[in-house]
Amino acid sequence: MARKRICLLALILACLALCAAHLRGADPVELRRQGNQIEVRIGGRPFTTYYFGPESPKPYLHPLRTAQGTIVTRGYPMVKNIPGESHDHPHHRALFFTHGDVNGIDFWGEGQGRTVFRKLEEITSGPDSGSTRADFDLVGPDRKVIATETQAYTFRGDPSTRSIDCEFTIQATNGPVKMGDTKEGTFAIRVVKALEAPNVHMLNSEGGVGEKQIWGKRANWVDYSG
């Protein structure tokens, strides 16, 4: 049986003013599981919650907050009564990882494939970081498992910043896996209206500036801030 391993590393910077380096004066990070979700608190204050239950076709983090407590991700479709929020693209669930073409099956648009929780491998709190790692099955519309996926997150923060280190591993356990080319970027964040283009600064590693020069382009990093 052919096996193919795809490892993707990502670091969310952008609207949270996140920092990839070690944070000086780091606050303690507490992770607490309640059913099919894990609450993340930094310095005793809520940061985000990791949802991985069957209520959603895919796992996601919602909401994301700055160190000052400001929410920077859209509430919809999880929260439907926030004044002024747009209700387009209901598959945009705050911060999430998924792909629109895995062996021809769409896991992005929530109409075909599902990322089904299998096992929580790790949940750790600590004086300067906290982490979680969970295993999932990528299940097609015929209920057959296409591949397995591991999602790992490490959370850090101090009095002025928040950061998330993200690692995703897709392993072909039931035959070859082909990740097709799509217009979406697989790892996504849906921000609040105040942080939508053109109200923000966008710059990528290739020198692209603004939405038109960055959307759909390959880059090592993107600075998205506002």
pLDDT of residue 3: 45
Length of the chain: 226
Q: Hey, how many other C-beta atoms are within 10 angstroms of the C-beta on 218?
A: 8
Contacts 24+ apart (CB under 8 A), 201-207: 201/225, 201/226
pLDDT of residue 24: 57
Q: How far apart are CA 212 and CA 138, in angstroms?
A: 32
Q: How far apart are CA 107 and CA 59, in angstroms?
A: 11
Smallest Cα–Cα separation from 118: which of 148, 92, 162, 74? 148
pLDDT of residue 60: 99
Each residue's pLDDT, cut to its tens digit, for the chain (226 residues) gives: 444 444 444 444 434 444 444 445 899 999 999 999 999 999 999 999 999 999 999 999 999 999 999 999 999 999 999 998 999 999 999 999 999 999 999 999 998 999 999 999 999 999 999 999 999 999 999 999 999 999 999 999 999 999 999 999 999 999 999 999 998 779 999 999 999 988 899 999 999 999 999 988 889 999 998 8
Q: Hey, how many other C-beta atoms are within 10 angstroms of the C-beta on 90?
A: 12
Q: What is the pTM of this model?
A: 0.87
144-158 burial, b if ≥16 CB within 10 A, otherwise e?
eebbbbbbbbbbbbb
User: Contact, 210 vs 203, CB < 8 A?
Assistant: no
pLDDT of residue 177: 97
pLDDT of residue 127: 97
Q: How far apart are CA 128 and CA 172, in angstroms?
A: 34
Smallest Cα–Cα separation from 159: which of 43, 15, 46? 43
First vs last Cα of the chain: how many Å apart?
A: 48
Which tokens hold the place of 71?
Answer: 């929410």
Helix (H) or strand (E) holding 222: strand 222-225
